């Protein structure tokens, strides 16, 4: 029975981490570059609407499910030891870094845009204070989330080989 839960938590962690990494990757390589082609007010208005749409239960489930399920997988795989624990530990650490960047950098920046909506007074100044920092740190959390996904995939391969 414990093997089922260990495997299920690992699969769930991999799935939710993959969903999160995909979202952050899409922002890095399509959403923000696309918004970057717009004028200040239109760019901020577009971001505000996308941010509001992202704040939904399904995205919350994936984003918060990732650290919870990865930690559960780590704890449930403790008896195995070895490389599985190493890769799971690295994955959990990277997921925590992704979450920390989101909470300390992105959520406050997003809140500033939300508070200025819908009129966006001083749009140029707001965009100046927001966009480059948001994009730079999103690239960092894209790297950490994709790296955590790779670690979880390696863990899946290792557990499959051991079976």
Name the nearest CA neighbour of 14 among 162, 140, 146, 108: 146
Domain ranges of the chain: 2-162
- Are 148 and 98 within 8 A, CB to CB? yes
- Are 152 and 21 within 8 A, CB to CB? no
DSSP alpha helices (H): ranges in 27-163?
A: 32-35, 40-54, 57-76, 82-101, 107-116, 123-162
Which pLDDT tens digit goes with each residue over 83-100? 999 999 999 999 999 999
Q: How is residue 55 annotated by DSSP?
A: S
Which pLDDT tens digit goes with each residue over 109-154? 999 999 999 999 999 999 999 999 999 999 999 999 999 999 999 9
């Amino acid at each position: 029975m414990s093997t089922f839960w260990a495997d299920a938590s690992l699969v769930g962690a991999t799935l939710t981490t993959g969903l999160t990494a995909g979202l952050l990757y899409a922002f890095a390589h399509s959403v923000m570059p696309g918004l970057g082609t717009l004028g200040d007010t239109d760019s901020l208005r577009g971001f505000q609407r996308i941010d509001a749409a992202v704040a939904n239960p399904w995205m919350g489930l994936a984003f918060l499910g990732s650290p919870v399920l990865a930690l559960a997988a780590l704890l449930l795989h403790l008896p195995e030891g070895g490389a599985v624990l190493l890769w799971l530990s690295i994955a959990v650490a990277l997921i925590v870094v992704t979450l920390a960047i989101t909470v300390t950098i992105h959520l406050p920046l997003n809140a500033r845009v939300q508070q200025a909506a819908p009129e966006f007074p001083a749009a140029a100044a707001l965009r100046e204070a927001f966009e480059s920092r948001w994009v730079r740190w999103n690239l960092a959390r894209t790297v950490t989330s994709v790296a955590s996904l790779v670690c979880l995939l390696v863990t899946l391969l290792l557990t499959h080989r051991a079976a």
